[in-house]
Amino acid sequence: MLLVIVVPGLLEVGTSSEGVRAPWPEAPYLARLLKLAGEPRVEPDGLFAALAPLYGIARQRDWPLAPLLVEARGIDPGDAYWLRATPVTLVAGREDVRIAAPAVALDEAEAQALMTRLNQHFAGDGLQFVVPAPNEWFVRLAREPSLSTRPLATVVGKSLRNLLPAGDDARRWRRWEHEIQMLLHAHPVNEARERSGMAPVNGVWFDQGGRRPPIGANPFIATYGQDQRAAALAQQAGRDAQPLPSFAMMTALRPADERQTNVLFTDSDDPAALDTGIAKPAWDALMRGVLATVIVAGDGSSGAATVWSASRPDLLGRLLAHRAPPPLARLIASVRATIDAL
């Protein structure tokens, strides 16, 4: 039986929004799991790329998150090729261009007005922009491009010079991106936003494209949590995402089937509940042998994901494992330094 604990934002433990050290409540059981696992595996393309293989999703030119998110929004992706098309604020420096953080926020009227203009302009190019939510845009393509992209989370704040889409169709897409920038810059929505002191929407970042993978009905994987990626992955397995299990359900873990995998998308904003409600019963089940392995997957502001895999130790190892672990923030800081050096 395999348990996967997904903690978006885990790599920001011990930092504030300004990047300086900040207090973090003790999370001894999560720290024990990470310490037992040892060095994590780094997945440069983020959490979805780290989790997709569990659901039988293979990489295409990109990891195909876009069509799964489209379907999770109630839109049939069909057999079309989809890309995420996230509205962003581009900031020009002396020698480069970067995407500003945090992401720009649009209301529904603004999003619809911008989408209408883009669809009018690109109607003859086989691109159709679809906006199921004001800040969640996609583009449907008439044909599959020879294009590979970088996930948005991995490029925010960085020079885009070497991070732009690559492939045989990259030149065409870069030309389209320049056209989009000109269209958005001159749009009344942006003129109004700038008069109000709000960040403009002056670009679109395309990423994580592909065709919808074949649905792999898997009776041995269950997904829990409210994250959009949880809903998308659960549908890929032929099941809906469920609410996170209660503490009582976690403590009652039993090896119903050794092939069973449970994936829990948790919330790092409540570390105490994460530690007592998820990590502690997971640790106890691992020590009892109910769980063979506990995987902890997290990410941070760099967009890269880290995956720790803790397996049940032998008797001596179980005795030693109960020693007080190092602070979670110290463990995370060491991993963050490794990622920054890549």
Q: What pLDDT, on a 0 to 100 scale, did the predictor assign at position 321?
A: 78
In percent, how much of the chain has pLDDT > 70?
Answer: 94
306-340 residue pLDDT tens: 999 999 988 887 887 778 888 888 889 888 888 87
What is the rounded average pLDDT for all residues in the chain?
A: 90
For residue 28, pLDDT beyond 50: yes
Q: Which residues contact 265 (CB under 8 A, 6 or more apart)?
A: 6, 8, 223, 224, 225, 226, 227, 229, 230, 241, 244
Q: Report pLDDT digits (tens) over 242-254.
A: 998 887 777 777 6
Give residue 20's pLDDT: 46
For the chain, give the percent of residues with pLDDT over 90: 67
Tokens of 220: 């041995």
pLDDT tens-digit series, residues 57-115: 999 999 999 999 999 999 999 999 999 999 999 998 888 999 998 778 999 999 999 99
Least confidently predicted of 32-46, 50-64, 156-170, 317-331: 317-331
Burial of 298 (0-12, 13-18, 19+ CB in 10 A): buried
pTM of the model: 0.90
Residue 198 Cα distances to 17, 227, 327, angstroms: 20, 27, 40
75 or 14, higher pLDDT: 75
Band of pLDDT at residue 21, cut at 50, 70 and 90: very low
Judge if the upstream peptide bond of residue 326 is cis by omega within 30 degrees of 0: no
Judged by average pLDDT, the poorest of 4-18, 30-44, 179-193, 271-285 is 4-18
Q: Is 23 exposed, middle or buried (0-12, 13-18, 19+ CB in 10 A)?
A: exposed
For residue 264, give both structure tokens: 């829990």
Flag the least confident range among 26-35, 81-90, 129-138, 331-340.
331-340
Is 2-58+214-340 in CATH node 3.40.640?
Answer: yes
Mean pLDDT, to the nearest integer, of 167-181? 96
Q: What is the pLDDT at residue 217?
A: 62
- Dist. CA 221–CA 295, nearest whole Å: 14
pLDDT at 43: 96
What pLDDT score was predicted for residue 24?
Answer: 60
Query: Quick one: pLDDT at residue 210?
Result: 97
All structural domains of the chain with their residue ranges: 2-58+214-340, 65-211
How many Å apart are CA 139 and CA 129, to the nearest integer? 4
Residues 6+ apart with CB under 8 A from 6: 47, 51, 225, 227, 230, 263, 264, 265, 266, 297, 298
pLDDT single digits (tens) 274-297: 999 999 999 999 998 888 899 999
Q: C-alpha angle with apex 173: 202 to 192, nearest 5 degrees? A: 15
- Greater model confidence, 19 or 67: 67
What is residue 55's predicted lDDT score, i.e. its pLDDT? 92
Instruction: Please determine, for residue 259, whether its predicted confidence score (pLDDT) is greater than 60.
Output: yes
Cα dihedral across residues 12, 86, 185, 148: positive or negative: positive
Structure tokens at 117: 């203009």
